[in-house]
Amino acid sequence: MDAIVTLENLAALLSLIYVLLAAKGNIWCWPAALVSTAIYTWLFFDVNLLMDSGLQVYYIAMAIYGWFNWQKSQSQNQAQIQIKSWSKKQHLIWITTLGLLTLTLGFIMANYTQADFAYLDTLTTVFAVFATYLVAQRVLENWLYWIVIDAISVYLYTSKSLDTTSYLFIGYTLIAIWGYWQWRQTYLKQ
């Protein structure tokens, strides 16, 4: 059990570093994300949060994609990442689509696997996939999605006695608020 707690602590620390660096628009967020997600892949699988475990595999791929996408911006001599904003209509379409996908996958997870919190785990996973894509694409509103996802995740991880991760997600919620503010300031200056 001590090894699991040590791994959870390391993954949480690297995840925190990732979010702080991402909020500042620093490309070094992506290597921290890569290592933390590799650890969390195994950890979540071990506690039967199957959708979260699968999500971590996606995060590994997005860490690589994010690194190359942000590096491309840096190689074009941009001092800061260029931030975009999507319309409310775009977000409404995506929220509706992702909500339907959540219901479908949640039903499958609830009825055909031994996953705990099938619908809630699926909700956070589906929306996190989308929000991570928005981070890599530098879309301002990614942080608003993260505020909701992270707050729900606190409940999930507390319920599974992943205390360090629960505290991490409380911090994530606060950092997401700060990240939105940081990116919004940058967006308004562009």
pTM for the model: 0.82
Q: pLDDT-based confidence at 73, cuts 50/70/90?
A: confident
Q: Give the torsion through C-alpha atoms of 60, 62, 68, 70, to 10 deg.
A: -130
As a whole number of angstroms, the distance between CA 63 and CA 12 comes to 16
Helix, strand, coil percent content, the chain, rounded in steps of 5: 80, 0, 15
Residue type, position 157, single letter: Y
What pLDDT digit, counting tens, does each position of 100-149 carry? 999 999 999 999 998 889 999 999 999 999 999 999 889 999 999 999 99
Count structural domains, the chain.
Answer: 1
What pLDDT digit, counting tens, does each position of 142-170 carry? 999 999 999 999 999 999 888 888 998 99
Mean pLDDT, the chain, rounded, equals: 91
- Calculate the alpha carbon distances from 154 to 40, 82, 169 in Å: 15, 31, 6
C-beta atoms surrounding 119 within 10 Å: 16
Q: Tokens at residue 48, please?
A: 């039967």
Residue positions counted in the chain? 190
Q: What is the pLDDT of residue 162?
A: 85
Per the model's pLDDT, the better-predicted residue between 118 and 1 turns out to be 118
Range of 41's domain?
Answer: 2-77+86-189
C-beta atoms surrounding 126 within 10 Å: 23
Q: Tokens at residue 129, please?
A: 């996939």
